[in-house]
Structure 1
Amino acid sequence: MQEPLGADIDPNKYKAACPDYKHYAMSPHPPYSEGPLELPSQRPKKYCRTFESPLVEKVVKDMNERIVDQDLARLFENAFPNTLDTTVRWHVDGTEKPRLFKKKWSSDAWKGPQSFIVTGDINAEWLRDSTNQLQQYQRLAKKDKAIHNLILGAINTQAEYVIGSPYCNAFQPPAPSGLDPTYQGDGDVVHPLYEPSFVFECKYELDSLAHFLSLANQFYNHTGSTAFLTPRWIQALETVLDVLSAQSKPTFNPETGSYERNEYSFQRRTDTGTETLNLNGIGNPLNGGTGLVRSAFRPSDDATILGYLIPSNAMMSVELQRTATMLHQAGKKKLAAKVREWGTTIEKGVWEHGVVDHKRYGKVFAFEVDGFGSHILMDDANLPSLLALPLLGFTSTDNEIYKNTRKMILEKTGNPYFLSGGEFRGIGGPHIGLQHAWPMAVLVQAMTSDDEDEIKTCLGLVKNASRNGLIHESVNVNYVTDYTRPWFAWANSVFAQTVLDIAQRKPSVLFGEGKEAYALG
């Protein structure tokens, strides 16, 4: 346990001397775990942490006392609080006097609690990352007012981002925070135009908007609170529906056959094909009448090849229907019906156009389709993925099409991005290359398995690839010491979620035979 600072020491001065966590995470720190790997501690000193919760500390303590494998226990101790420890760059509870700033906003903008959650080593907030980073704390929000307010603030902040630039995926610190933005300088040519001081990157990814809905749906599910259901959030929801309408249109007019330019385009000067869209920033043609919605980029931030990305459409269909249920219960029945219709339309489109016949595996989910009959068979490590469809709530693990798909994407003969080497194996993707698999995908494999041996194998692979005490973005399948991103909060959160899932479903894997399950909330 860390000793408190002396009463004569100013915490603010101590905080000013805190090391940059990006560099801190690259080196091991004592105390080391008592397991064979002797994994280091990677939690910042108390006054260097960006947010604290006594309930989170209790969970860490509880799990430390229960997990038999001391290396896994250390990874959980580092990973579970990592988002709170390191990524909450700005949080206000809504009672503070607003700062003065130059940009003119709606009089209702930036009201109430606000939270800016960075992805880790990049000083920007991804809608997808921040939703996943906060996911393991959602079950604590009803009991912990601080967590409740932090997540409510994140919902409010994301709503402002969606209203301001709904086609963008990553955002700068909010103007009221007074924090300086960070510019990429890639010279992107994007339509619609965006404000660089507001947006960090503007890759249109359907799952980003689905994650915006998911953050609020999780909060409502665990707390029953509709405090986020403000005019601004409703405006953001309407903005999402506008995007769905625009991005479900075909490339060619179905009546005249004439080309109709998409509302969104993206071009980047680069020698990496996945970093830009072809055909002058539009991407490959898509057919209409599918019920599916275009996504220009994948959750990996790589460009799609065929724009109807099935995992993202599946996630959007689920979150729309969950949102509709919440709105109906809140008395907003007309809007709920509109949202539900979108959800069921997209869901139908996934089942009708996203399921294809494979000569070896039978009926499987395709990764991307174009509505003309072309499809791509693969899976990518990032969430949402085909592997994660049950976690998204789209289908169950015992669905035959999902089982066929799971078998396909976890074999090299079925998935070109299933990578295997001497020290690691799992799903990777084009984002990093052909030798690096992602621990995140191996963790999803564990959460979608009912086989204890498979779960143990997955945990062992990730543990062995996390020698620095944190979960990395990707690792070389032959040399796990060759990794990308020492500080990637999303991956740490997925590890924590996996351990908590196993602690509830398969407690003997973590705690030993005959031990009781452990559940949050």
Structure 2
Amino acid sequence: MNSNISVSRRDFLGGAAGFVASAAVWPGNAFAQTGFVSKRPAPSARRFRSKAVDGAIESISARMSDPELAWLFSNCLPNTLDTTVTFTNGPSGPDTVVVTGDIPAMWLRDSSAQVWPYLPFVAADSELAQLIGGVIRRQTRCILTDPYANAFMPDLASREPLPWSKTDHTEMKPGVGERKWEVDSLCYPVRLAHQYWRTTHDTKPFGAEWVRAMHAILETFKAQQRKASRGPYHFQREAFSPYDTLSGDGYGNPARPVGLIYSGFRPSDDACIYPLNIPGNFFAVITLQRIEEMLTEIAHDSAAASEASRLRSEIKAALDAHARVHHPTAGEIWAYEIDAFGNAICMDDANVPSLLALPYLGSCSETDPMYLATRRFVLSEANPYFFRGSAAEGIGGPHIGQDMIWPMAIIMRALTTDDEKEQLQCIKWLKTTHAGTGFMHESFNKNDPANFTRAWFAWANTLFGELILKLDKTNPKLLEKA
């Protein structure tokens, strides 16, 4: 981090955690008699209130046998709505800012994932549907502001980025909070938009501005295939950690142009070692399929739809040709990153997209033999970022470091299996590692859950809520056993 910057990201998060710990608590709730007092803000202090979401919390919690698990669910599922959204519905239509929690900025990835679990409730809650439509509109504006940025400020006219981005060597634009190019940043908004459209049949968010944003995604993906040049994006930061900057004059390490999309950074916001990130490219394939479908059926833009189809086929063929590696103990698996010169990193990271999360994102089946082999590898100590301790076992990553397990990865493990025993074990770990806070965290020490990072991380909270919603739908009896 540049020595001229007085506030680092870690300093900022430390200060934010204190705010969350002192947040208002609503005492009148059904859990008080069990000793579990709600950690939600008082109703009058909630950023957005959805009767449909609150009704589901009440209904599902009543069917859960474990009061602590029900309490966790009731705190976590609504956390994004309770604490992170700013929703307006003016003359130009709905507009929704979704900050990530303890950082006052909107990540394209996080904001999409944060509201995703609420999509099943939009049919019963028209205002919730408008709120998510507002997220899509805001993300469209963000993409058109800068398709290479990962995070944006609530005021898109602001010339004040996040504190640690102020002296970055890159082409910073107004409204950008941080400019780390990550393939998945452009995939997540498409995933949200496609599911919103399929759920509501509402096409109002998908006007000319949205079509321009889809064109921008296609052009960015093509530019970052780097067939003729390194492209327009570069990034350098005077940073203590090598994961916070890019080598090669800001363009990253070299890779052979084989049709895959280069990424500067991983979903963790850590720099790629080899710039061809395999989970990100898998996510791009399904994203391009969704873009093709929406441009065809909504925008009637056959030329751009055909380009999306061509690009999707090219990336898929490149994955088929280059993503597989032979690991000395795991056999044939998918690599995490490659350079297409024959070098590869065999690991997985807790952040999504990950190799573990590929079925969750629609990139493969849970029963795909290659996925199952890769899954066995990433959930073993052959993965350098898989940690097993006295409190739990799970995947972490270099972003926080050694022995720090991410609840997100435990949740994703449960979301990508139908093995009841494995699901129950994941729930047990999640229930016993929240350190009495009633919320999921970014990470915790494998032997000491009280040693955790980020007390207010809304994506992890709503993802936990999504897990309970899925289990209630697919195996409700499991929640009686948990």
- The TM-score with structure 2 as length reference comes to 0.91
**1:181 and 1:189, CA in 2 relative to 1: closer, same or farther beyond 3 A?**
closer
Q: Which residue in the other structure is 1:463 paired with?
A: 431
Would you say the 8 A contact 1:284–1:306 is kept in 2? yes
2:399 aligned with 1:445: no
Q: Which residue in the other structure is 1:84 paired with?
A: 81
C-alpha separation between the residues in 1 aligned to 2:274 and 2:114? 29
CA displacement, residues 30-89 of structure 1 (integer Å, 9 cap, x when unaligned): 57986999544210011111111111111111111111111111111011111110001x
Q: Which residue in the other structure is 2:467 paired with?
A: 498
**1:181 and 1:144, CA in 2 relative to 1: closer, same or farther beyond 3 A?**
farther
2:45 aligned with 1:25: no
Would you say the 8 A contact 1:33–1:71 is kept in 2? no
Q: Which residue in the other structure is 2:6 paired with?
A: none
C-alpha separation between the residues in 2 aligned to 1:91 and 1:34? 29
Q: Which residue in the other structure is 2:4 paired with?
A: none
- 1:35-434 matched pairs, under 5 angstroms: 38-88=35-85, 90-95=86-91, 111-175=92-156, 183-191=162-170, 193-195=171-173, 197-250=174-227, 260-288=229-257, 290-330=258-298, 331-412=300-381, 414-434=382-402
C-alpha separation between the residues in 2 aligned to 1:398 and 1:41? 39
C-alpha separation between the residues in 1 aligned to 2:379 and 2:34? 27
Q: Which amino acid aligns with 2:55?
A: K
3-state SS of the aligned residue for 1:266? coil
C-alpha separation between the residues in 2 aligned to 1:329 and 1:438? 39
Bigger CA radius of gyration: 1
Shift of 1:340: 2.0
Moved more, 464-473 or 124-133: 464-473
Q: Which amino acid aligns with 1:146?
A: E
CA displacement, residues 147-173 of structure 1 (integer Å, 9 cap, x when unaligned): 111111111111111111111000001
Q: Which amino acid aligns with 1:67?
A: M
- 1:469-508 matched pairs, under 5 angstroms: 469-508=438-477
C-alpha separation between the residues in 2 aligned to 1:362 and 1:51? 49
Q: Which amino acid aligns with 2:88?
A: V
Would you say the 8 A contact 2:267–2:351 is kept in 1? yes
C-alpha separation between the residues in 2 aligned to 1:487 and 1:390? 27
Q: Which amino acid aligns with 2:53?
A: V
**1:431 and 1:510, CA in 2 relative to 1: closer, same or farther beyond 3 A?**
same
CA displacement, residues 175-210 of structure 1 (integer Å, 9 cap, x when unaligned): 48xx9966314444343x122x41111100110001
Moved more, 125-134 or 26-35: 26-35
Shift of 1:326: 2.5
C-alpha separation between the residues in 2 aligned to 1:130 and 1:417? 26
CA displacement, residues 298-319 of structure 1 (integer Å, 9 cap, x when unaligned): 0000000000101111111101
C-alpha separation between the residues in 2 aligned to 1:353 and 1:325? 27
C-alpha separation between the residues in 2 aligned to 1:346 and 1:37? 53
Would you say the 8 A contact 2:34–2:67 is kept in 1? no
C-alpha separation between the residues in 2 aligned to 1:335 and 1:183? 34
Shift of 1:262: 3.6
Would you say the 8 A contact 1:423–1:478 is kept in 2? yes
Would you say the 8 A contact 1:295–1:307 is kept in 2? yes
Moved more, 48-57 or 403-412: 48-57
Structure 2: stretches of 5+ with no match in the other structure: 1-14
CA displacement, residues 399-421 of structure 1 (integer Å, 9 cap, x when unaligned): 11000000000000x20000111
3-state SS of the aligned residue for 1:363? strand
**1:352 and 1:448, CA in 2 relative to 1: closer, same or farther beyond 3 A?**
same
Give the structure with the higher percent helix: 2
Shift of 1:297: 0.2
C-alpha separation between the residues in 2 aligned to 1:21 and 1:292? 38
Shift of 1:440: 0.3
C-alpha separation between the residues in 1 aligned to 2:163 and 2:20? 23
Q: Which amino acid aligns with 2:20?
A: A
How many pairs does the alignment contain? Answer: 464
Would you say the 8 A contact 1:188–1:267 is kept in 2? no
Shift of 1:511: 3.1
C-alpha separation between the residues in 2 aligned to 1:164 and 1:301? 19
3-state SS of the aligned residue for 1:450? coil
List 4+ stretches of structure 1 deviating above 6 A. 31-37
3-state SS of the aligned residue for 1:267? coil
- The TM-score with structure 1 as length reference comes to 0.85
CA displacement, residues 108-137 of structure 1 (integer Å, 9 cap, x when unaligned): xxx421111100010000000000000011
**1:434 and 1:297, CA in 2 relative to 1: closer, same or farther beyond 3 A?**
same
Q: Which amino acid aligns with 2:290?
A: R
CA displacement, residues 453-509 of structure 1 (integer Å, 9 cap, x when unaligned): 111110110111112001100001111001000000000011011111111222211
Structure 1: stretches of 5+ with no match in the other structure: 1-19, 96-110, 254-259, 514-521
Q: Which residue in the other structure is 1:15 paired with?
A: none
3-state SS of the aligned residue for 1:25? helix
3-state SS of the aligned residue for 2:197? helix
C-alpha separation between the residues in 1 aligned to 2:222 and 2:99? 30
Shift of 1:334: 3.0
**1:306 and 1:64, CA in 2 relative to 1: closer, same or farther beyond 3 A?**
same
C-alpha separation between the residues in 2 aligned to 1:482 and 1:39? 22
Q: Which amino acid aligns with 1:77?
A: S
Identity value in percent: 37
Q: Which amino acid aligns with 1:459?
A: I
**1:359 and 1:33, CA in 2 relative to 1: closer, same or farther beyond 3 A?**
farther
